[in-house]
Amino acid sequence: MRWNIIMPIATLLFLAVATLVVILYARGYQLSFNTGKPQLTGSGILVVTSDPDGAEVFINGHLTTATNNTINLAPDTYDVSIKKDGYLPWERTVKVNQEVVTKLTAYLFPIAPQLENITELGVSNPVVDPSGTKIAYTVASQSAKKNGVYVLNMNNNMLLTLQSGSQQITDDTTDTFSQSQLSWSPDGTKLVASMSAKANAKPVQYLLDATSFNSTPQDITETYADVTNGWAKDREDKITAKLSALPLSLRTFLSTNAANLVWSPDDSQIFYQATQAATLEPMMKPLPDSNTVTQQRVLQPGTFYVYSIKEDKNFALPVSVGPDIMPHWFFDSRHIVYVQNKQVTVVDSDGSNQHILYAGPFVDGFAIPWPTGSKIVILTNLGNSEIVPNLYTINLR
């Protein structure tokens, strides 16, 4: 009879102790014998992942584990390096807090990426659409039927080869579209092709459907101003809608002190350029697992910054580009791709881990990340001035 009472109690006690041990372990507590006797010590948990995985993780210079693993560390500040053969290293100084899970995610870029051509007909005047998924360009080195305007849809997953990814949307039968300047509509479905003025005539503009061949392009010369003004208003309305979703104090600060605002693909961060000297006051209490990279809340005119909406952190970027060459968000919302000193460069959105991805010849500072992050598109003639440039990809995966 007594045994029947003791067994259930012992079982419940065992389950309670086991549950407590699991909870304490999950919160970073470990059993230590450093003092010669058992002692329960608190620690923090560092979760390190990488793409590609299987990279080596160095903590304070010591090889500790491989990525996609969990590490228990005493509360402190650590220098973390992630390395993999054939890839550029990734580094971060991170603060580990007791009972807090700190996550590090490293996207590793190849040391020697391969080039692959997308086009073969010669490319001029490439322009990317607002979504960053389509590139329109002109071809002027072929016959009248081959010359014209083309669109490369980088989101087309049905492509057998990259070379088959471009669609011709008009030719030079109606007008010399191969010599036109192109501009996208805000929704990426239309293009305006602007033709240079001919003798005793004014410039001509056509509206093109970017999704199919335009056998009879629509002449909008007389309504061109209305069309472009409408598109400008649509762009302003989109920015206004995004700003309205922000706290009033942040919205007011950005409206007053920032220009060239670009939201990250997941809308968690804002890339912008400071227009005047200003101080961004804290808007929330620091999160325990937030980014520990030193932020810059005192703005300098002309400097590029990234503001993290979730963490209320503001980071200065080591970016210095011309007015016509704006940086682009990488697909993962954690990197910025830009052209500086005639080199394609990538940097973490907090300004760390700046790396040169490509230093070879390319034209007009054109460097566009592929929507999946697997490539970067550039315009190059491979240093041969006797040939017309073509679109190539810098393959990252």
Asked if pLDDT for residue 49 goes beyond 90, the answer is yes
Helix (H) or strand (E) holding 3: helix 2-26
User: pTM to 2 decimals?
Assistant: 0.85
pLDDT band at 118 (very low <50, low <70, confident <90, very high): very high
Cα–Cα distance for residue pair 297/106, rounded to 1 Å: 25
Average the pLDDT over 333-357 and give the result.
94
Tens digit of each residue's pLDDT (9 = 90 or more) over 251-298:
999 999 999 999 999 999 999 999 999 999 999 888 776 788 899 999
Asked if pLDDT for residue 20 goes beyond 60, the answer is no
pLDDT of residue 284: 87
Helical H segments across the chain, by residue range: 2-26, 224-244, 248-257
pLDDT of residue 375: 95
Q: How many CB atoms lie within 10 A of CB 303?
A: 16
Q: Which amino acid is at 325?
A: I
Tens digit of each residue's pLDDT (9 = 90 or more) over 190-246:
999 999 877 667 899 999 999 999 999 999 999 999 999 999 999 999 999 999 999
Longest dimension (CA), the chain: 113
Asked if pLDDT for residue 325 goes beyond 70, the answer is no
CATH topology of domain 2-107: Immunoglobulin-like (2.60.40)
pLDDT of residue 244: 94
Tens digit of each residue's pLDDT (9 = 90 or more) over 355-392:
999 999 999 889 999 999 999 999 999 999 999 999 99
pLDDT of residue 353: 97
pLDDT of residue 29: 55
Cα–Cα distance for residue pair 108/341, rounded to 1 Å: 22
CATH topology of domain 234-395: Lipocalin (2.40.128)
pLDDT band at 181 (very low <50, low <70, confident <90, very high): very high
Topology agreement, domain 2-107 and domain 234-395: no
pLDDT band at 156 (very low <50, low <70, confident <90, very high): confident
Domain range summary for the chain, segments of one domain joined by +: 2-107, 115-224, 234-395
What is the average pLDDT score of the chain?
A: 89
Asked if pLDDT for residue 304 goes beyond 60, the answer is yes
Q: Could you tell me the two tokens for 112? A: 């020697």
Cα–Cα distance for residue pair 303/296, rounded to 1 Å: 11
Give the burial string for 193-222 (b: 16+ CB within 10 Å, else e): bbbeeeeeeeebbbbbebeeebeebeebee
Conformational region of residue 2, where left means phi above 0, alpha means psi within -120 to 50, and beta covers everything else: alpha
Asked if pLDDT for residue 45 goes beyond 90, the answer is yes
SS3 241: helix
